Amino acid sequence: MRRLKDLRKQDFSPTLLDFGPVQFYIARHFGFCYGVENAIEISYRAIEENLHRRVFLLSQMIHNQEVNNDLQSRGIKFIMDTDGRQFIPWSDLKPDDVVIIPAFGTTVEIENLLLDKGLEVQKYNTTCPFVEKVWNRSEKLSLDHYSIIIHGKPKHEETRATFSHSARRGPSLVLRDMSDAISLGDFIRGSKNSQDFLFEFAGKYTEGFNPEKDLQRIGVVNQTTMLATETQAIADYLRAVMVQKYGLQNIAYHFADTRDTLCYATNDNQDATYELLKTDADFALVVGGYNSSNTSHIVELCERKFPTYFINSDQEIKSRNEIHHFNFHEKKKVITENFIPEKDPVRIVLTSGASCPDTLVDRVLLKTLSFFENSKSVENLLQDFERKI
């Protein structure tokens, strides 16, 4: 209803669902984006159209275990995990097999390997158009003789794919965070030498990268699911370094004026999360896959204000007094007791990442709601909400 009333996305404030003893602040934007919906639709179509053929996914379709488990239950096999570790040898693949390229895309090397084996790679290629947009931006920068600086997680499938496509055209380098950017600034200024660069950024730059030459002209792109403010901060910092070294009058030659390359869903979800931070909630529930980059960034934002519990489904809420959740900083599951405060009303922020089905958010809300007696029914609340909106 909010979306239909606000097609141009002018209002990012959360929706308040008041059940009486418990209130939920629902993010204005959350859940599946176009790229994820498209990827899942293509994957199910691949299964239906190839009942008597083997169907493989290069790796996880998206970073959501429930979706991936369902695909596996229907017979799809994963060739590798999200870090590129092989489950099924390339030698096992036959020309008659079906291989689905996930929404994150894949490297040029893997695509060529599949083509050399006689496999069709485009029919079920689910690469998100926003990922391809980053590849196209990188290609244009390279053709204009800029080195490509990629803000992303070096081991993430999307960043590996972007790096591979960018490396075909010219010098490329991956920065994980602002700390990497500050260090890179030292090399640009010349306060660190080239040998230190080769050691410090080992495994993150293209073969033959020459920091003395290849850091004279740069442009910044990013993994589409990174935190938008961090990408902008990195770009601003590197631009300031280039101004310091070459002068403002020469900045256009040395630093490409790239617009933000985050996808619209990542931007919308993050903007909606900033609005959630303006609420007076007791804690936040963020639903999504534990290896989901965009979801972890939403968790990171919520943690700035609220006790935040990162869960992958309603099954992690064991009772009113116990929740199992993921600490993404330490990469481990933890248990928190008495996470729901004894007060009336309890105010809860609820949102999810772009790879999380809406049904999971529904189930988390209903499971939490079940702990509160004398709550308004969902049916009555929706009727009241519809009248108000």
The pLDDT of residue 93 is 95
Please state the rounded mean pLDDT for residues 99-112: 92
Q: Taking the CA atoms of the chain, what radius of gyration do you get in angstroms? A: 23
- The 10 Å CB-count burial string (b at 16+, else e) for 44-71 is eebbeeeeeebbbbbbbbbbbbbbbebb
Q: Do 175 and 230 touch, CB atoms closer than 8 A?
A: no
Tell me the pLDDT tens digit for each residue of 21-70: 999 999 998 887 777 888 889 999 999 999 999 999 998 776 777 788 88
Burial of 13 (0-12, 13-18, 19+ CB in 10 A): middle
End-to-end CA distance of the chain: 8
Tell me the C-alpha to C-alpha distance, in Å, between residue 275 and each of 233, 267, 296, 297, 301: 20, 13, 17, 15, 11
Q: In whole angstroms, what is the distance from residue 363 CA to residue 47 CA? A: 27
Active-site amino acid positions:
158
The pLDDT of residue 384 is 85
Q: In whole angstroms, what is the distance from residue 48 CA to residue 347 CA? A: 44
How many beta carbons lie within 10 A of that of residue 179, not counting itself?
A: 9
CA angle, corner 175, sides to 172 and 210, nearest 5? 40
Q: In whole angstroms, what is the distance from residue 261 CA to residue 264 CA? A: 9
φ, ψ dihedrals at 283, nearest 5°:
-165, 170
pLDDT at 263 over 70: no
Mean pLDDT of all residues belonging to the chain? 91
How many beta carbons lie within 10 A of that of residue 84, not counting itself?
A: 13
pLDDT band for 264, please (50, 70, 90 cuts): low
Q: Are strands 346-352 and 22-26 parallel, antiparallel or unpaired?
A: parallel
Q: In whole angstroms, what is the distance from residue 154 CA to residue 168 CA? A: 17
The pLDDT of residue 65 is 76
Structure-derived torsion over alpha carbons of residues 126, 129, 132, 138, reported in degrees to the nearest 10: -160
Q: What is the pTM of this model?
A: 0.77
pLDDT at 320 over 80: yes
Q: In whole angstroms, what is the distance from residue 28 CA to residue 121 CA? A: 36
The pLDDT of residue 268 is 83
Tell me the pLDDT tens digit for each residue of 164-220: 999 998 999 999 999 999 999 999 999 998 889 999 999 999 999 999 999 999 999
Tell me the pLDDT tens digit for each residue of 209-255: 999 999 999 999 998 888 778 888 999 999 999 999 999 999 999 99
The pLDDT of residue 354 is 80
Domains of the chain: 2-32+264-388 (3.40.1010.20), 34-116 (3.40.50.11270), 129-254 (3.40.1010.20)
Q: Do 263 and 35 touch, CB atoms closer than 8 A?
A: yes
